[in-house]
Chain A
C-alpha cells in the first residue's frame, strides 16, 4: 500500500461542516395533508449559492436534521424554497413552523442537474409524487431561461388529486403554449376531470424527438423503474435519462455512510445520476 502524506494539520483548523447557518421562514403553506411548503432566507445576508438538483440539511433545534431537496431555482432570487413531507421527527415538527420561525440550514450539498448540457435541446420532465419538488428546481430554471432550451414537456403523477403539489403552477404551465404539461392521478375524486392512471400512460400522449431529448425522472423507486423503461422505449439513450435518488444523507459531506450505494456517497457524487450510472450501481433503485 502506498502511504502518502495526509493533510491532518490543515483539516484540524478547518471550519466544522456540521454547524448550521440560521435561516428565517418568510412564507409557509400546507400543500397537502403531508406536504408543507417553505420559502426561506438566510439571516447572515450571504444567501444560499445553489444550483438545481441540490439539497440542504434542515435543522430543527432540539429535534435534529433532515435532508430536503431544494425545490426552487436560483433564477428566482435570494430566497429558496423547500417542500417537506412530514414523515419523521424533524419533518413533523416542521408542520408547526410558519412565517418568522427560524431553522438551521447546512449546505447546499450534492451535485446538480447539468443545465449546460441540456441547452438547446428538449427536456422531458417526469415527476411522481414528492419527486416534483426536486424536479421543480430544474423546471423553474428552464422556464426562466426558456429561450435556451428546446421543447419542454412536463409529466406529473400523483396517487390522488389531494396529493398533487404546486397545483397553481401546474395550471400556469398547462396554460403556456411553450410548455406541454400533462397531469395524471391514480385514483380520481368526483371533481377530477383530467387524466387517470399511472404516470407511464402519459408517454402515449407525447411525441419525443429521442436523439435531442433529456428525460428527467424523479419519483418513488417503483415509479422510477417503469418510467425509465418508457423513456428507453421512446429511444432516449441511457446517459440522457437523469434521475435524483433519495437516501438518508445524515452528514452531507461524505463521511457518515448512510447514503452510500456501493462505493458512491450519494450526498457528494449524487443525488443526480444518469440511468447509465444508476444501472451500474445496482443497489441504486
Chain B
C-alpha cells in the first residue's frame, strides 16, 4: 500500500474510529509538573480520542504493560472437588497507538523470548491480537537515551503502521495487512511527491539529530561485558545500588516473573498468577534450602547488565537493551546502564 497522509486535526477522528473495533492504548497527558510546567505522559487505555498525545517525549513505563501485565492469571483450578486445572488465556483486540521505535524494538524482543523453545500462549495470544501503530522520533527524547547505539531507532518490522510527524500532518506508512485495515478507518489522502520529499527530509534531519554515545559498536558489547566479568567495577557501581528493582520495573524488555497462588474467598477455587519479579532483589536466585547464588549486590547488578547487553541477545537474537534510558531515569542512585557500558569499555 502506498503511503498516505493524515491531517493532525483528523487524528482524533481516526482514533475514535479505531476505538469502535478495538481497545486503544496510547500516550496521554498524566500531569503537569508543578515546578517547571513540564508535561508528563503515561500509557493508558484511551477513554476520549482527543486525549491521545503523539507529541509525547518519554513515559516512565512503556506500552509493555498492555502485552505483559504486572499480574497475569495463568491457571485456574477447583479446590472443592476435582481440581480440573485450566489455562487462563485472555486477550481482546487492541491497538498500541503511538509506539516509539525503541519500544517497537523492545516488544520484538519480548515476542522472541516468549516464542522461543516452549511458546508461552499467555503472552503470545495477546500479542497476536495487538496492532502496533508506531510514531517516529525526529530527535532524542531525553538525555539518558542512547537508542542509536543500541540499534533500536529504525526497526525494520514489529509494527503495522508507522506515523512520521510532518508540518501539521502525519506521513502514514503501512507495513502489514492489519495495518492497511487500520489505515482505512482514517480520513487520509494519498501521499504526493512533495509529501515523500518532506518525509525524506524528516529522515535526513533525524539522522543528524542523533549521535552515537558509546565508544564502541554495539556488536562488541557482549565481548566487552565478558572481559569485564571479574572487574571490581561491578562492586564499585553496586556501592550506590539499593537493589530496589526500579530498573527492572521500568525496563521494556524485562520479563522475569514470580508465580504464586491465590485462593478464592469461598475456598472453592484457586488461581495461579504470575507477576513481575526483579533479579535485583535478594531472594531472586535463592533455593529452598536457603542458599542464594547471587548473594552479593554486585553480582546481581552485574547479572542485570549482562542480561541487558549479552544474555538476552544470545538467547533471542534480539537486543536486551534498546537504549530507552528508562532504568537510568528511574534509578534513585543515578546508576546509568549507558555510563556502565562506557566505563567497562574504557577500563580494558
Using a CB–CB cutoff of 8 Å, the interface residues on chain A facing chain B are 1-20, 22, 59, 61-66, 85, 87-88, 91, 102, 104, 220-221, 246-248, 250-251, 253-258, 260-263, 268, 282-283
Whether A3 contacts B85 in the complex (CB less than 8 A), given A247-B287, A253-B117, A263-B310, comes out as: no
Q: Which of B85, B157, B255, B317 touches A255 (beta carbons < 8 Å)?
A: B255
Cα-based distance from A2 to B108 in the complex (angstroms) = 11
Expressed in whole angstroms, the minimum distance between the Cβ of B108 and any Cβ of chain A is 7
Q: Which residue of A lies closest to B256 (CB)?
A: A257
Show 16 residue pairs from A and B whose CB-CB distance is below 8 angstroms, ordered by the A residue. Answer: A8-B111, A11-B114, A12-B125, A13-B121, A61-B77, A63-B261, A66-B288, A85-B288, A220-B289, A220-B291, A246-B289, A248-B288, A256-B258, A256-B259, A258-B285, A263-B315
Residue of B117, B151, B284 touching A258 (CB-CB under 8 A): B284
Partner of B79, one of A5, A7, A13, A61: A61
Q: Which residues of B contact A104 (CB under 8 A)?
A: 77, 83, 85
Assuming the contacts A8-B128, A11-B119, asked whether A18 and B258 have C-beta atoms less than 8 A apart, the reply is no
> What is the distance, in angstroms, from B199's C-beta to the closest C-beta of chain A?
21
Q: Is residue B74 contacting chain A, with contact meaning CB distance below 8 A?
A: yes
Taking CB atoms, residues of chain A closer than 8 Å to B85 are: 19-20, 22, 59, 61, 104
Interface of A is mostly: loop
- Which A-chain residue is minimally distant from B322 (CB atoms)? A1
B113 near A255 (CB under 8 angstroms)? yes
Residue B87 contacts which of A19, A220, A253 (CB distance < 8 angstroms)? Answer: A19
Q: A3-B155, A3-B156 given as contacts; is B108 within 8 A of A10 (CB)?
A: no
Would B113 and A12 count as touching, CB distance under 8 A?
no
- Give Cα A66 to B260, complex, Å: 11
**A17 touches which of B118, B270, B291, B306 (Cβ 8 Å):** B118
Given A248-B287, A253-B117, A263:B108 Cβ within 8 A: no
Q: Which residues of B contact A (CB under 8 A)?
A: 74-75, 77, 79, 83, 85-87, 89, 105, 108, 111-122, 124-125, 127-129, 151-152, 155-158, 218, 229, 255-261, 263, 267, 270, 272, 274, 277, 279, 284-291, 293-294, 299, 303, 306-307, 310-311, 314-315, 317-319
A-B interface contact total, Cβ < 8 Å = 171
Whether A16 pairs with B127 at a CB distance below 8 angstroms is no
**CA of A64 to CA of B270, assembled, Å:** 10
Is the Cβ of B83 less than 8 Å from the Cβ of A250? no
CB distance from A10 to the nearest CB of B (A): 7
Neighbour of B121 across the interface among A14, A257, A282, CB < 8 A: A14
CB distance from B244 to the nearest CB of A (A): 18
Complex contact A253–B120 (CB within 8 A): yes
Q: Do A262 and B118 touch across chains, with their CB atoms under 8 A apart?
A: no
> A255 CA to B257 CA in the complex, in Å?
8
Q: Which residues of A contact B267 (CB under 8 A)?
A: 62
* Of listed A14, A85, A102, A247, residue having the most chain B CB within 10 A: A14
CA distance A261 to B112 in the complex (A): 20
Q: Which residues of B contact A283 (CB under 8 A)?
A: 293-294, 299
Complex-state Cα separation, A35 to B1, whole angstroms: 66
CA distance A85 to B291 in the complex (A): 15
Q: How far is the CA of A91 from the CA of B288 in the complex (A)?
A: 9
CA distance A19 to B73 in the complex (A): 11
B120 in contact with A19 (CB, 8 Å): no
A262 to B122, CA, bound (A): 26
How far does the Cβ of B166 sit from chain A's closest Cβ, in whole Å?
A: 25
- Give A281 to B229 CA distance when docked, in angstroms: 11
Known: A254-B116, A255-B114. A18 touches B125 (CB 8 A): no
Evaluate contact between B317 and A102: CB separation under 8 angstroms: no
* Chain B, residue nearest A43 (CB): B82
Are B89 and A16 in contact (CB-based, < 8 A)? yes
Out of A12, A16, A246, A250, name the residue touching B258 (CB < 8 Å): A250
Contact: B116 with A62, CB < 8 Å?
Answer: no
Determine the chain B residues whose CB is within 8 A of the CB of A253 once the complex forms: 117-118, 120
Interfacial chain A residues near B261, Cβ < 8 Å: 61-64
- Find the B residue at minimum CB distance from A129: B289
Question: Judging by beta carbons under 8 Å apart, are B319 and A62 in contact?
Answer: no
Give Cα A262 to B302, complex, Å.
Answer: 10
Which residues in B have their C-beta under 8 angstroms from that of A61? 77, 79, 83, 85, 261, 270
Task: Give the nearest-CB partner of B219 in chain A.
Answer: A1
A220–B293 alpha-carbon span in the complex (Å): 13
Q: Which residues of B contact A15 (CB under 8 A)?
A: 87, 121
Q: Is the CB of A5 within 8 A of B157?
A: yes
Q: Cα distance A246–B124 when bound, in Å?
A: 30
Give Cα A248–Cα B294 distance, bound, in whole angstroms: 13
Q: List the B residue with the shortest CB-CB distance to A57.
A: B259
Contact between chains at A254 and B118 (CB < 8 Å): yes
Output the least CB separation between B231 and chain A (Å): 14
- Closest residue of B by beta carbon distance from A264: B311
Once the chains bind, are B288 and A221 in contact (CB under 8 Å)? no
Least CB distance from A4 to B in Å reads 7
Give min CB distance, B125 to chain A, whole Å.
4
Cα A6 to Cα B47 in complex, Å, equals 32
B112 CB to nearest chain A CB (Å): 5
Residues of B within 8 A of A9 (CB): 128
**Are A282 and B229 closer than 8 Å at their CB atoms?**
yes
Question: When chains A and B are docked, how far (Å) is the Cα of A65 from the Cα of B75?
Answer: 12
A242 to chain B, nearest CB (A): 20
- How far is B285's CA from A246's CA once the two chains are assembled, in angstroms? 11
Q: Shortest beta-carbon distance, A181 to chain B, in Å?
A: 26
Cβ contacts under 8 Å, B122 to chain A: 16, 18
Q: How far is the CB of B107 from chain A (nearest CB, A)?
A: 10
A1-B319, A2-B317 given; A255·B77 CB < 8 A:
no
Report yes or no: A8 in contact with B115, Cβ–Cβ below 8 A.
Answer: yes
Cα separation A59 to B261 with both chains bound (whole Å): 10
CB distance from B17 to the nearest CB of A (A): 25
Is the CB–CB distance between B115 and A7 below 8 Å? Answer: yes
